Amino acid sequence: MTNDLKYWNAFNQRLKIGAIRFKKLYNHFDNMEQAWHADSSEFDEAGLEPKVIDYLLIKRPTISPEQEMEKLAKENIKIITIKNKNYPQLLKEIYDPPALLYIKGEIKPEDEFAIGVVGTRKISQYGKQVVPDIVQELASNKITIVSGMALGADTLAHQAAIAVKGRTIAVLGSGPNDQNIYPYANKSLSEIIANNGAVISEYPYGTLPLKQHFPSRNRIISGLSLGTLVIEAPENSGALITTRSALEQNRDIFAIPGNIYSPNSKGPNNLIKQGAKPVTCAQDILDELNLSMATAYQQTKEIIPETKEEEVLLKIITKEPIHINKIVQQSKMPAHQVSATLTMMEMKGKIRNLGAMNYVLAR
Query: Would you tell me which CATH number, out of the four given (3.10.20.30, 3.40.50.300, 1.10.10.10, 3.40.50.850), belongs to the domain 308-361?
Result: 1.10.10.10
Where exactly are the structural domains of the chain? Answer: 1-73, 105-296, 308-361
Which residues make beta-bridge pairs with 299?
none
Q: What is the pLDDT confidence band of residue 286, given thresholds at 50, 70 and 90?
A: very high
**pLDDT tens across 208-248, in order?**
999 889 889 999 999 999 999 999 998 878 788 888 898 89
Element (H, E) at 189: helix 187-196
Tell me, rounded to whole angstroms, the distance of Cα 310 from its chain centroid. 30
E strands, the chain, are 78-81, 100-105, 114-118, 144-147, 168-171, 197-201, 227-230, 252-255, 277-278, 322-323, 351-353, 358-361
The Cα–Cα gap between 252 and 254 comes to 7
Write down the pLDDT at residue 296: 54
Three-state secondary-structure class, residue 277: strand
Kindly indicate the confidence band of residue 300, based on its pLDDT and cuts at 50, 70 and 90. Answer: very low
Report yes or no: 162 and 194 within 8 Å, Cβ to Cβ: no
Pairwise CA distance, residues 95 & 115, whole Å: 19
pLDDT > 70? residue 295: no
Look at residues 34, 32, 35 and name the one whose alpha carbon lies nearest to residue 5. Answer: 32
Q: Region of 360 please: left (phi>0), alpha (psi -120 to 50) or beta.
A: beta
Residues 305-336: tens digit of each pLDDT: 888 899 999 999 987 889 999 999 999 999 98
Helix H or strand E encompassing 67: helix 65-74
Q: Which CATH architecture has domain 105-296?
A: 3-Layer(aba) Sandwich (3.40)
Measured between alpha carbons, how far is 99 from 83 in angstroms, rounded to an integer?
8
pLDDT tens track for 35-79: 999 999 999 999 999 999 999 999 999 999 999 999 999 999 999
Give the pLDDT score at 252. Answer: 92
* pLDDT (0 to 100) of residue 346: 85
- Residue 144's DSSP bridge partners are 114
Residue 322 β-bridge partners: 359
